[in-house]
């Protein structure tokens, strides 16, 4: 890390990412060290923009969030505390005690069940480094982002397709690029089937993972699946990628359903979509599912099939709406501030 001039105000934009191989289970919950490598693609229609400003004119820390379609509002609670814990770590590094104002804005509906923690924590972390004149390379930035609490955020720092290497210490656990955003014209159709907040947070899910009798079996088969997924991306082998992401999504949800206590994230429509995709594939229309810690389905497809798949998906009873995403760059600094 290099110390530069502090500009004290900076803005970053960062995407959410969809995991092809899921991070599920932690070796160390303080350092956010995962039990396995994970692989993801950044998604371009699910962005968070964050402006931070440090100034003696602020008498207290202020965190405002503008969710999509809602008014900008000061927020308190767990999320705000997590953001401010990250701010405190950076204040210490920069040896500054000025208060901060943070304004964050999401480009996607907060009720779409797409976790905005990856985009939010990566945008915040990048903006903080710039404002405080702390210069990190990509590896260090990924590590600093991981430490904010939502581990998957460390993958949003990287452009395009990323692999988070689990490592065995804070220094060796970070994301690297597999391919950039222009490498492969894939798409992620987010199919929203339920707009409620998830009942069990991924944080709790990570803690429960090890209580599943099958968790060890998952960890054993993962290195091979990670290798094949990495290969599928590099060689643009869509069918192999599809098989791997479906295997991994089912494996993760098998762990949640067999944890003690069990957690069921799917609903009936989730299963209807899975069945429909399998039927359509028999007729040559290729879309593969993956599912995070909620009931909504991410359909991974080739861009040429977006329209057909979207039309068919929207006809399934229980589907509320869809969001089309393409691969995109990771976190970046922009000139235009939100305030």
Residues that bind ligand PMV (CB under 6 A): 19, 22-23, 38, 115, 117, 150-152, 202-203, 292-293
**CB 290 → ligand PMV: shortest distance, Å?**
9
By C-beta, is 116 or 310 nearer to ligand PMV? 116
**CB 155 → ligand PMV: shortest distance, Å?**
8
**CB 176 → ligand PMV: shortest distance, Å?**
15
Confirm if 317 and 28 have CB atoms less than 8 A apart.
no
By C-beta, is 132 or 331 nearer to ligand PMV? 331
**CB 325 → ligand PMV: shortest distance, Å?**
14
By C-beta, is 38 or 119 nearer to ligand PMV? 38
By C-beta, is 18 or 131 nearer to ligand PMV? 18
The phi and psi torsions of 100 (rounded to 5 degrees) equal -120, 150
Show Cβ contacts of residue 316 under 8 Å, excluding neighbours closer than 6 positions.
269, 272, 273, 276
- For residues 155 and 175, what is the distance between their CA atoms, to the nearest angstrom? 5
CB count, 10 Å around CB of 313?
Answer: 19
**CB 146 → ligand PMV: shortest distance, Å?**
9
Max Cα separation, the chain?
64
For 245-297, the three-class secondary structure string (H helix, E strand, C coil) is HHHHHHHHHHHHHCCCCCCCCCCHHHHHHHHHHHHHHHCCCCEEEECCCCCCE
Kindly write down the DSSP assignment for every residue of 205-232, as one continuous string.
HHHHHTTSTTHHHHHHHHHHHHHHHHHH
CB count, 10 Å around CB of 18?
Answer: 25
- Burial category of 100 from C-beta neighbours within 10 Å (exposed 0-12, middle 13-18, buried 19 and up): buried
By C-beta, is 1 or 176 nearer to ligand PMV? 176
**CB 30 → ligand PMV: shortest distance, Å?**
13
CB count, 10 Å around CB of 11?
Answer: 23
**CB 122 → ligand PMV: shortest distance, Å?**
11
By C-beta, is 293 or 299 nearer to ligand PMV? 293
Using alpha carbons, select from 172, 51, 148 the residue that is nearest to residue 102.
Answer: 51
Confirm if 136 and 8 have CB atoms less than 8 A apart.
no
By C-beta, is 22 or 225 nearer to ligand PMV? 22
By C-beta, is 37 or 322 nearer to ligand PMV? 37
**CB 282 → ligand PMV: shortest distance, Å?**
29
Using alpha carbons, select from 128, 122, 44, 38 the residue that is nearest to residue 89.
Answer: 128
């Amino acid at each position: 890390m290099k110390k530069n001039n502090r500009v004290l105000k900076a803005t970053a934009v960062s995407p959410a990412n969809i995991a092809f191989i899921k991070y599920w289970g932690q070796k160390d919950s303080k350092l956010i060290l995962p039990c396995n490598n994970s692989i993801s693609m950044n998604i371009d229609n699910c962005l968070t923009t964050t402006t931070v400003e440090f100034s003696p004119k602020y008498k207290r820390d202020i965190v405002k969030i503008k969710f999509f379609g809602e008014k900008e509002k000061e927020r308190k609670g767990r999320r705000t505390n997590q953001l401010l814990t990250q701010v405190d770590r950076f204040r210490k590094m920069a040896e500054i005690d000025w208060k901060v104002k943070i304004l964050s804005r999401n480009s996607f509906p907060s009720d779409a069940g797409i976790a905005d923690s990856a985009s939010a924590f990566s945008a915040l972390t990048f903006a903080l480094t710039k404002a405080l004149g702390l210069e990190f390379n990509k590896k260090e930035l990924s590590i600093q982002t991981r430490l904010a609490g939502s581990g998957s955020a460390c993958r949003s720092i990287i452009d395009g397709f990323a692999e988070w290497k689990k490592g065995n210490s804070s220094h060796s656990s970070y994301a690297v690029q597999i391919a950039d955003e222009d490498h492969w014209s894939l798409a992620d159709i987010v199919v929203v089937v339920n707009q409620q907040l998830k009942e069990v947070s991924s944080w709790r899910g990570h803690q429960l993972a090890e209580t599943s009798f099958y968790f060890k079996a998952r960890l054993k088969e993962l290195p091979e699946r990670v290798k094949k997924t990495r290969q599928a991306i590099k060689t643009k082998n869509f069918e192999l990628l599809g098989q791997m992401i479906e295997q991994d999504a089912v494996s993760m949800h098998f762990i949640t359903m067999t944890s003690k206590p069990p957690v069921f994230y799917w609903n009936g429509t989730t299963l209807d979509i899975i069945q429909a995709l399998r039927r359509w594939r028999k007729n040559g229309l290729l879309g593969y599912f993956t599912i995070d810690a909620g009931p909504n389905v991410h359909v991974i497809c080739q861009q040429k099939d977006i329209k057909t798949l979207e039309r068919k998906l929207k006809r399934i009873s229980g589907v509320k709406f869809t969001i089309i995403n393409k691969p995109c760059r990771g976190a970046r600094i922009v000139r235009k501030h939100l305030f």
